[in-house]
A = this chain, B = another copy of it.
């Protein structure tokens, strides 16, 4: 089986990550809840992961690095926890439903939401976006990479185009682990992280990092092991946003993923770029195939195959060739609308994939195209 669905979830975890998860389950206590040695040891490891993650992304403080169950929860905290009726925000048609659905919910409660279009290159039109941003715009919410095509905005340019006062909230689901992100350098106010894709963590891991200009209210309420006599959530972070027992094994996996990335960031990036370019070139040479992606460091290649429905093509590739990739809308409906597509086939490679697998996909697509 060839796994090219790494943008849905990373199909391969480094041995170091797997071992760390195993160890975290083997010697397991509830971090931050009890004062005994094992609990404190677990808490110290959680903090080490928090520090590693914050430093990796140039975050604004270890307390402003909170662990979530996935990138969606992180985005919900940043959006539902920080926006209120009367706020004006601008987002884009390239967003995933993890942004669009919270914004739809908020728009019914008095938040004014505008969406920037794509430009003629099918990239997010950051100039059109900037024009939509009024001086009193509270926040721009933008993905750092389209999960459909891998198109990615120039965040430094975007930041320069919008008012300093406007918060910049970024969906890092696809981008984290693949490109160099530094929140302080890029003046990003919130970064939502998926742990289980480019970060090499396991499912159940995610994080929200945020600046001192953003002070999200909780979306979940519960025990924190701190200020237990206070029936309100503590005012301080990270406790304010981390209710209930933390997912220790997943957090450990994310911390270990950061370590792994630190040692192989450039090597992995080069490999992904090489495989992506090879795949794009190969697909462009197949008659009937339209490629919707340009070279990108996320390993995402979206394409269509004649008039074949994308889900049918993906199913054929799975059943007849044992190649796993994803058809359909990829939870990004407005992106497809903007592309004029009703679904695309998306291959997403990672650094654990190899040229031979790309060749096999090209052979398979060729066969389907010539039927």
Contact = CB atoms under 8 A, between A and B. Distances in A.
A221 B69 contact: no
Given A9-B30, A324-B37, A328-B228, A196 B101 contact: no
Interface residues of A, number: 83
Interface string A264-293: 000000000000000000000000000000
A321 to B, nearest CB: 10
Given A37-B318, A326-B34, A245 B9 contact: yes
Top 3 nearest A-B pairs (CB, nearest first) are: A72-B244, A223-B331, A204-B247
Interface string A185-212: 0000000001010000011101000000
A366 interface: no
Number of copies: 2
B30 A5 contact: yes
B221 A101 contact: yes
Interface stretch (A20-28, A53-61, A128-136, A157-165): A20-28
A148 B244 CA distance: 16
Contacts of A39: 5, 8, 324, 326
B28 A8 contact: no
A138 interface: no
Interface string A308-328: 000100110111001111111
A328 B35 contact: yes
A114 interface: no
A206 B220 CA distance: 14
Contact of A22 (B18, B96, B225): B18
A206 B233 CA distance: 21
A200 to B, nearest CB: 11
B325 A36 contact: yes
B25 A5 contact: no
Interface string A250-270: 100000000000000000000
A220 B77 CA distance: 9
